[in-house]
Structure 1
């Protein structure tokens, strides 16, 4: 009888150890269960150098790993400041699994207040994945994220907002491919869990960046191409640090963590009863360098033939008028004066 009791006690203890989270090793440093650590990862390229600030949260229970990037575009402030809030919102003492959070992927773009590109090498980080270990500074940043964060993730989230000239609607998004139905379906569930009214489907069927011998270009595409359910947040506009957008980013990530079983929310998860799915987007570009005058704002419902704006030369002569090519929601419109030939000035979302 005593032997049976001892066996039962041993099994209970062993099961407790099995459920407990082990230490997590990141960049040769041990992160103990129930703790978080901050890292400044140096990226050195001969004459140039930068770093990537990363926070790693290791929970108290075994679980999966979520990778998150903010600041891939360093002028997109709402996600960056949302990530700062997450330092305090993600409690590793209540966490199951691991969260690896890149606080600012493009530090030089952030410090240089540079939209889209890094002032160090003129590269757009979100057109550079999977990067190069021995490439330019931006290529090395992309390579580190690809090989040391995305490669370790079971789920992946990249957080963006409208860059300096972009008036943008708030939305969640997920990557989808007909050859990856289960991964796509999981991504859709994750995107819906964020709690946005609108969810964009990034359909990758037939896209060159999905080919094995082609670069993935986009941060989230690199994760999806590796077979990881992958989603985006787009929340914020015009590079403005608006508090409601920052709070929405933070709340959406906490929603996701609750949905995935990483971290229970203190309150009920925000759920949208009938989110609007968007699978088709229509882009209109400027045919000239010059000055753009928007006639609408992001979120407006437009009908085919409606004027959206016009482009002038530097003497006020109208060179081009932009009209809505379809009915739909104005997902994005350039709302600052400069415009370049070939640059997209409007994006209309066709509502499913």
Structure 2
């Protein structure tokens, strides 16, 4: 009799569990399924939508929020998101994945580097957004309230925009007053499988103070006490397959590290990390034509010549020398240059 009673309780618990679900934007998603959303965003003057895929795992677990296309000209994260539609299986997933396929659709459709052409604003400089603001501010507001705020862990995926020759790396947020959250972020960044890991040291940074806006998408998550990491993979607005696959693999690695999937088949192990906590940015003093002598990933020494700027008649008006020893994380990769443009970012290894 006792065994029959136990069996009945087990069946009832399984029925109850199988009926559990996840609600997103007023839609109920059943366990073991995924749902695509086109979230309308309008401020009266402009209208757009945000394509989002929500994976509701067959088993309970944490929620991972992911954003791609915060800058719409950064294609590898967006295309990796398209591949993740198939490679994340909700039937074997533990927990929830909220994947923003293209946060800044108008930037993507309009082939607009950095900014949304509808209002000229950079989505990654206005978080947490404004529900009564411009179209870009309203996008940030929706992502903040409906993706970031619902996440236990958060990942923002980027690449080198149109003029940016970028070296692939992962990054995480760290603060001495938040050691647990910082350490979880560190382990998440390691799981992404990149050779270089940037540490966003936030002690004393205004954007983490209560009275200041967070500005950056992943900084908004960290400010809320959510472990937050970034991917930077891809360059010059190109859709290179290697970068796309590296991002997809990184996300699958992360799901494995967070124990949200059962298998480690797709995991690429990497035990040789280079951590970078200090970065030096150098700006142009002139407008003209830029000729780089180095590229991202190159190691340089202080005083080494790394590029020149000429006027529009070929006369050299500025010679660029490395201001520190380190590895080039970012190098301007196209000829046009304006005064105060960032020419190079060197990571001190």
State the TM-score, normalizing by the size of structure 2. Answer: 0.97
Contact 2:252–2:266 (CA under 8 A) maintained in structure 1? no
Structure-2 change in CA distance of 1:325 and 1:42 (3 Å): same
Deviation of 1:266 after TM superposition, in Å, equals 5.5
1:275-334, Cα deviation, whole Å (9 max, x unpaired): 111111111011122211111010001111101112222222222211111111111100
The answer to whether residue 10 in structure 2 is matched with residue 6 in structure 1 is no
Partner of 2:218: 220
Cα RMSD after superposing both structures: 1.4
- Alpha-carbon separation, structure 2, partners of 1:257 and 1:17: 27
- Alpha-carbon separation, structure 2, partners of 1:193 and 1:75: 26
Contact 2:256–2:264 (CA under 8 A) maintained in structure 1? no
SS state at 1:342 partner:
coil
- Alpha-carbon separation, structure 2, partners of 1:141 and 1:312: 40
Structure-2 change in CA distance of 1:264 and 1:313 (3 Å): farther
Partner of 1:239: 237
The correspondence for 1:277, drawn from 275, 278, 289, is: 275
Deviation of 1:59 after TM superposition, in Å, equals 0.6
State the TM-score, normalizing by the size of structure 1. Answer: 0.96
Structure-2 change in CA distance of 1:205 and 1:322 (3 Å): same
Partner of 1:41: 39
Farther-moved stretch of structure 1 (84-93 vs 305-314): 305-314
- Alpha-carbon separation, structure 2, partners of 1:22 and 1:342: 54
The correspondence for 1:170, drawn from 140, 145, 168, is: 168
Farther-moved stretch of structure 1 (337-346 vs 85-94): 337-346
1:172-321 equivalences under 5 Å are: 172-265=170-263, 267=265, 269-321=267-319
The correspondence for 1:136, drawn from 134, 138, 143, is: 134
1:122-167, Cα deviation, whole Å (9 max, x unpaired): 0000001000001000000000000111010000000000111111
Deviation of 1:173 after TM superposition, in Å, equals 0.6
- Alpha-carbon separation, structure 2, partners of 1:147 and 1:46: 21
Contact 1:21–1:60 (CA under 8 A) maintained in structure 2? no
Contiguous gaps of at least 5 residues in structure 1: none
SS state at 1:146 partner:
helix
1:59-81, Cα deviation, whole Å (9 max, x unpaired): 10011100000000000000000
